[in-house]
Amino acid sequence: MGLHHLPYFWSRMLKQGLFQKLQQKLSPQQIQLMKLLQVPTAELEQRVKQEIEENPALEEGEDHDEEDVPTEDQAIAENEDVGENEENERDDFDLSDYFQDDDTPDYKLSVQNSGPDEEEREIPLSGGTSFQDNLKAQLSLRDIDERTELLAENLIGNLDEDGYLRRELDAIVNDLAFTQNVLCDKADLEKALREVQALDPAGVGARDLRECLLIQVERMPHSLEQRIAQEILDKHFEAFSKKHYDRILEKLEIDEDALKEAIDLIVRLNPKPGNTMRETDKPSQEIIPDFAVMAIDGQLELSLNGRNAPELRVSRAYRDMMKEYARNKKDKDQREALQFIKQKLDSAKWFIDAIKQRQNTLLVTMEAIMEHQREFFLTGDETKLKPMILKDIAERVGLDISTISRVANSKYVQTNYGTFLLKFFFSESLTNEAGEEVSTREVKKILKDAIEAEEKRKPLTDDELTALLKGKGYNIARRTVAKYREQLNIPVARLRKEL
C-alpha cells in the first residue's frame, strides 16, 4: 500500500456510526437467584445468616404485615399532608444523632512505635504434637551417637505425609553439605535411616510400598504365615502385586491354604503409616437432603426440607424510617439517609423474593424428576431407572438447561431406599435388541451384580461381560463395557482374582 493511500485507509478504519444491538444481560437479582440455586441446604443457612448480618433491613421471622415496602414516591405522597407546625418541630432534627458513633475511634487508642518500613514478625502458636515431633521424641530415647541422631532428624524432616522417604539419599547428602555444612556419605544416611525405620508406627521411613510392608512383617511374631509373607514381599513382590499366585505357589512350594493365610496377613498391614498419627484435614460433612420423596400406599409424596424455606421479613422499623426521612427530602442529609434506607429495603425484598423463587424452582424441578423416574421411587430398583438428561427436565418444566444443572448440583433427595444425589438420576440412553431405550445406569447395575456374583478364582473378563450383556439383549461393544467398569471403580479381571 502506497503512502498516498494511508489517509483514506485510516478514514475507513476510524469511521463512526450509530448501531442498534440486542444483548442479553442478567440483572443483579437474576445473578443472585442463580447463585442461590447452586447452594445446598447446609450452606443456605449460612448464606441467610450472612445476608441478615450485612443488611439490617432483613429480619428472621414470618411477616404478618401484608403491607408492601413503600417506594420513595409513595413514602413522599403519604407525608404530603403533614402540616407546617409539624415541619417546624422537625427543623432541629439532626440525622447525625442516629449515625454518630459514641465510641472513641480506634486510632486514638492505638500506638504505633515502629516505622513504616519495619517488618512485623509474629511467632505462630501451634497446638498439639506433629508427626515429626513424635518421631524425634522417640529418636531422642534411642542409644545412638549425636551424629547419627542429627542425620536421622534430618531424614524425619524429609518424610512425606504418608510417612515415606521419597527423596534419594544422594540428594539429601548434597543438601546437608550445601545448606547445613554437614559432610556425610550414603552409608551414613543408610545407618541413620535404619534408626528411623525402627520407630513407631512400623513402616515409617520406608522408601516404597514393598519396604513399608516388609518392615511391618519383620516386626511380627514368628510364625509360618509370617515367614511366607516375608518371603513374598522380599522376593516375589511383583508377582504378588499382579496376583500371579500360580507362580508364587510354584516358587515357594506351598499349598493354597498357606498362601491364602499369608496374603490375609499382608492385606491387613498399613500402607500409609504416617496417617496413623495424624488427624485427617478433611472435615466430615453431614448430608442434609434437600427433598424427601416417600412412597406411601403406591403414591409418591414430595416435600421440601424446611431449612430451604426460612421465614424472612422486611424490617418494619426500616419502613417507618423511610416514611420519616421522606418528609424532609429537601434536606441533603435526610436525602442521603433516604437513599441508604431505600437501598437496604430493596436489597432485603430482592433477597426474600430470590429465596421464594429458589423454593419454587427446586420443587418444580424435583417434581419433574420424580414423575420421570416414578418406577424407581416406588420400587427402589435401579434397573427401573429411565434414560434422562438435563434437556428432558428443562423442556418439561420450561426452564433453561443451566438452571436445571444448578438445581441438580450438590442436591440430595431422601427416599424409602436411601439418600441419593440428584445427579444419580441422570443418565444417557442406549437401545436394546427390542428397540427400547434403556438407561446406562441399568447396564451398570447388571455389570456390578455380575461381578459381585462371579467366581473369584476366575473373574469374568471384559469379553465375557460383553457376551453376558449381549445374552440379556444389550448389544454394546467391549470398549464400552470397559468404560462402564472403570466408571464403577472396578479393576480388571486379573486384579480381582482371589484364592
Angle, alpha carbons 442-444-446 (nearest 5°): 70
Q: What is the pLDDT of residue 330?
A: 62
Q: What is the pLDDT of residue 84?
A: 44
Question: What contacts 214, CB < 8 A, 6 or more positions away?
Answer: 230, 233, 234
Question: Cα(266)–Cα(179) distance, rounded to whole angstroms?
Answer: 40
Q: What is the pLDDT of residue 454?
A: 86
Strand partners, 293: 302
Question: Cα(31)–Cα(350) distance, rounded to whole angstroms?
Answer: 11
Write the pLDDT tens digit of every residue in 88-128. Answer: 444 444 444 434 444 445 555 455 555 555 555 555 544 55
Q: What is the pLDDT of residue 87?
A: 47
Q: What is the pLDDT of residue 371?
A: 92
Question: What contacts 148, CB < 8 A, 6 or more positions away?
Answer: 188, 191, 192, 195
Question: What contacts 401, CB < 8 A, 6 or more positions away?
Answer: 390, 391, 394
Strand partners, 421: 412
Question: Cα(232)–Cα(210) distance, rounded to whole angstroms?
Answer: 10
Question: Cα(377)–Cα(291) distance, rounded to whole angstroms?
Answer: 13
Pick from 357, 436, 353, 425: which is nearest to 392 by CA? 425
Give start and end residues of each alpha helix (H) in 131-255. Answer: 131-139, 146-157, 169-179, 186-197, 209-218, 224-235, 237-241, 245-252
Write the pLDDT tens digit of every residue in 347-391. Answer: 888 888 888 888 888 899 999 999 999 999 999 888 888 888 888
Q: Are 42 and 288 in contact (CB under 8 A)?
A: yes
Q: Are 142 and 195 in contact (CB under 8 A)?
A: yes
Write the burial class of residue 374 (CB in 10 Å: 0-12 exposed, 13-18 middle, 19+ buried): middle
Three cell numbers written together for 233: 514381599
Write the pLDDT tens digit of every residue in 173-217. Answer: 999 999 888 899 999 999 999 999 999 889 999 999 999 999 999
The two beta strands, 412-415 and 291-296, are parallel
Q: Are 485 and 465 in contact (CB under 8 A)?
A: yes
Distance from the Cα of residue 209 to its chain's centroid:
29
**Any idea which residue has 458513633 for its cell?**
101
- Tell me which amino acid residue 235 is: K
Q: What is the pLDDT of residue 477?
A: 86
335 to each of 68, 150, 429, how far by Cα in Å? 22, 73, 62
Q: Are 258 and 228 in contact (CB under 8 A)?
A: yes
Question: Cα(451)–Cα(445) distance, rounded to whole angstroms?
Answer: 10
Which sign does the torsion angle of CA 235, 241, 247, 252 carry? Answer: positive
Segments of the chain scoring below 50 in pLDDT: 66-67, 69, 72, 75-104, 109, 125-126, 279-283
- Report the predicted TM-score, pTM, of the whole model to 2 decimal places: 0.55
The topology under which CATH files domain 430-496 is: Arc Repressor Mutant, subunit A (1.10.10)
First to last CA, the chain: 82
Pick from 379, 382, 405, 380: which is nearest to 392 by CA? 405
